[in-house]
Amino acid sequence: MIIVPENQIAGLITPADCLVAVEGVFASMAKKSAYNFPVIREAIGHADALYGFKSGFDRDSLALGLKSGGFWPNNVEKGLANHQSTVFLFDADNGRCRAVVGGNLLTALRTAAASAVSIKYLARKDAKVLGMIGAGHQSTYQLRAAVEQRPFEKVLAWNLHPEMLSRLEEVARELELPFETVDLDRLGAEADVIISITSSFAPILKASQVRPGTHLACMGTDTKGKQEMDPELIAAATVFTDEVAQAVTIGECQHAIDKGLISKGDIVEIGAVITGRHKGRSSPEEITLFDGTGVGLQDLAVASAAVELALSKGTAIEVDF
Ligand code: NAD
């Protein structure tokens, strides 16, 4: 069995590697070669923790396994990250555990890779201004992955807690991109691409604030009740997602579905665009919106890539099991 500990991941896998892995598995999902198993998430009644599994199988790559983990709100006091996850990969030919991989950084990288895939396929080619809503842990990974997809000239950012925006500003400076904190009216009026990555439970951005031709990557809503976008904005956009089943239950689409503004059939899986079955953006004026809910197959894809990289670089720890 191979072990790739959390502390190896940063030196092993790049955002570009993760983009390739996530794009590949979205394509496998569209071809019905890969599927996610039902998600388990439970309040365990200890340490205020939420714990669960995301799992699946990709018949193309033979990635089989699960990401196990959750949210321990009191971890910060112990000097640990609140979100903890570990990926377990199994040999699809014999069921033996093939690898255990630290999943904390990989979760941020695979989430950023998903929105980057959506920008790659759906944003206008001439997109110049990137709008960021949210400035928490995930936001800097989102920014770094997004700038690989278009030659952005400027970053505009908004966050409910403005004091958190300095971390995004630092990354923008490192990327040599002008950075401005703005209100939502200006962000919507000027941004060509908008990424939202917050833990909001109420709409942040309204349909009237978004101009034609914008691409939105909505990445924060991954649980029932969470919400970042006005349902009218979902209704006005052409909507894409990683997986329709999750979009309508725990994703941004849940609210527009509940209000009867859209139906399941209006939502396109991004894999269909990657494989060429759907043309993606149909005009420069269209608003495209990606509802990135986060699927287990993304975790398996990036963890498998990390294992291959660890093996090729000779850093994998191998144990008898
Ligand atoms: P974090 O706790 O580090 O940051 C939270 C962010 O949300 C901050 O910008 C904060 O200012 C903002 N925020 C908090 N309460 C808000 C409110 N009521 N209204 C508006 N903004 C509010 O969290 P993070 O690790 O950066 O994660 C952000 C979100 O992304 C979470 O909801 C998390 O569950 C989600 N997430 C999604 C995926 C996916 O695959 N889609 C993966 C990982 C995390």
Q: What DSSP element (H or E) covers 187? A: helix 184-190
Please state the atom number of ligand 1 nearest to the C-alpha of residue 293: 41
Q: What is the pLDDT of residues 228-270, one digit of tens each?
A: 999 999 999 999 999 999 999 999 999 999 999 999 999 999 9
Domains delineated in the chain: 2-107+297-318 (3.30.1780.10), 124-294 (3.40.50.720)
How remote is the CA of residue 319 from the centroid of ligand 1, in Å?
Answer: 37
321: pLDDT strictly greater than 90: no
Q: What is the pLDDT of residues 59-118, one digit of tens each?
A: 999 999 999 999 999 998 999 999 999 999 999 999 999 999 999 999 999 999 999 999
Nearest residue to 299 (alpha-carbon basis) of 114, 134, 118, 49:
114
Q: Contact at 8 Å (CB) between 196 and 218?
A: yes
pTM: 0.97
The pLDDT of 272-294, averaged and rounded, is 98
Nearest residue to 197 (alpha-carbon basis) of 118, 298, 275:
118
Choosing from 31, 32, 67, 313, which is the catalytic residue?
A: 67
CA-to-CA dists, residue 147 to 24, 32, 184, angstroms: 20, 30, 21
Ligand 1, CB within 6 Å, residue ranges: 107, 111, 134-139, 159-161, 164, 197-201, 204, 219-220, 222, 226, 292-294
Pairing mode of beta strands 63-71, 288-291: unpaired
Three-class DSSP category at 193: strand
147: pLDDT strictly greater than 90: yes
How remote is the CA of residue 99 from the centroid of ligand 1, in Å?
Answer: 29
- Tokens matching residue 287: 């608003």
